[in-house]
A and B are shown apart, each in its own frame.
Chain A
């Protein structure tokens, strides 16, 4: 003790660890509040008496570390170094020990005798966190006093321990200090040799050398003034050569903290964090995660068919069919083209698309549920392994996943990708992600062509499209773009119980958007398609559209598609749902109460149906998507390349699937 009868105790700690509570409990009314000399930072000090000795307690500003980033940090470390308190009590939060120990790792090397006040043990207990004080004490080499200062627990023991340490520090304090990473020890020693003899009292030489390596501005300035120019040049050269030494210094501290935590911390996995970790063992597993994702996709399709398809039939029969009959009756005495326009054009086209609504409701509900529970982040994380093959990482998976909803915002979302190469590659691949429009067409037509096998065929086609996406990405990455890598850390959010209202709003918003589209673009295209298929002679087989279709017949033959199916494909360029609306118009759905599904199942073979659906999955996306592709790439060239690429692979895919399907007898 410097001054017989008065022991100086510094109270240090990070903000919100209960330091002020301890200070107030110990000093009571004998506090003095002022400012630190030359600073605007508040200084609190006080006294208490124990065992005949007066203890002067100085409350240091709460700081997370002892860098020179703030006046508070400079004040705290200058006090410990210059005033040389007899004891430094570092208050740590038992419920956030990892964070608290960083400050302790910086204080220990300053050489003052340290006691650790392990506060908030009650909070730690409530959170299921167990800290073993005796083990921590043995690991640290300094006394550890468990406390719950807000309940006035442990304070007496702290007072006793302060007294013991003040009287005989060398006996009770043998701190185990953090060390700089091994590969920088020689550099540290070189620096110490260079600055030894020029370090002002009472700064420790080793601490100054560490701070120089960390790039501490204050200490750098101090030593630059103290060293002769040629000495400073040598020091500066070493620092310039090891500009990342700060990592080596901090690493040493984290290694030390890690050892302390592993020794003394017991954290049972309970509650929401524990559940998330348990679920993620499967959801993020390299193989299990993919199987889970495939299973979930399969379940969504199954639900669509199990629930959506019967509802769709009901709407078709009792609403669309009924309206078609009523309109037919209303227009019985009128001109043929009027009946044709309303029944074949509007009802045949738009009405058929309206029957999609139950299917889309299920898709949107499933998508909303997966997002709201937090699962989508896991799906994105798992898919990243494939994206690695394509040279895409991190930010690319967000827009690609959004493509499952709609390709338009998906393409716009590529703006968040910094790398131009990665952005272009992502934009080229997005049209291969099946949007809800394509999925709805698939859900409608697959059971028409394949009956009970519809869900399996749909599932297979979606997986097939994604395989084509991955293969295309690998090839693009290899031949078109020089491979680059980006690296990310992703913190997956905790799983949480889905909110019905959030999902409901999500489904409502997207369904309304779909119905608006049905009432606008699809209505217009249906009327145009009807007109082209009616005029000039009122017979679809002799119409303008048929003539256009006949020109395409040679192409269609290879894929097993007649001109009506081809025209339907091209109509999907305006909106994917138009392909069904167009088929509805061309095949006269709504006439005589027959739905499109009934008609198609009688005229299109399974092989042709499979080919149609394959081409549909790989075809050029809607015009809105291509418009934003042009906008986001800033280039007609890339947009046209995208169109050409998709035309080629959809044609090749259709031909291959049709020929193989015929070979196997479909």
Chain B
């Protein structure tokens, strides 16, 4: 059965075998790429970003900025662009019609069929995607740092990434992911987007979404699964380290808060843009390609600071609902009520004056103070594993430090072809 992804298009991996790859790159100019572009090469070639087959042309970028659609009309919210300086374009002799080999960490990674070189007003792009031109917005800052020219063209992977420990097993591309869903017999699948070590607010967000999604399905066996899809990409100081994020998310399953029958942790390579509502639309496309049927969206999904209202993402998704293949599942905040003695939803409990709200930031402050949070807030297995990750991978800290940025184990490597 064909794997149909976002926009109703079949997902096709754009990957060559090693022999053909070696043959195709012979004599081509090699162009090194940075990690953001390498992440996106993987996203394009494995079908995470289907129907996109390469870095966008000017027509696509303009259409995404102006209409939140690809030039062909399919909903798409964030430009996938290859930027370069004039000097590099001249230095590498890049020209339309002349393919080049993209290299990462010195080894061939992808074939780039250069079709177009163009400029685009970066301020206009920032305003269109992020709703602001302020450089303190991390997505806007990223946009302003791009080279002044953009190159559009198809991408084909030449060399599959070697996923390094402890991430092995968590890189599950769309076609493989769909097989896993089928093996588990899940009829509805509700994705959880994360870039955090989970506290029980996250856990109950997932459990609540599981119940919402289950609805009228039969209960002779569990038919709903929760794939946790962690965004792994550029880190900022103070974030949880990647190892802790991926391993603790899976620990919720291993420690029995979920099980094999309803939980699966995986990762997607992507540098967060913090585009709020536009990133929510991007997540819809991405997870549609992974084969999910539903997607959780909480307050201020993928936002930053006070740039977006708490429900802006929900409102934007509502405008395109009939063009998306997933059903959004919205959730109110989960909090601790000492009167109930449990984590509950603000939509359920009425002991409002007693509520104890908590957030990832608050839990980080507890951990920073050398305190083990109560199990109702942070599972002990998750806490212990977070601390183990700090020792094993984080140079003593579960949070990103300068030392971690300098010495961390890369999530993937591109080996010689």
| A-B complex is real | no
The chain A residues found within 8 Å of chain B, CB to CB, are none
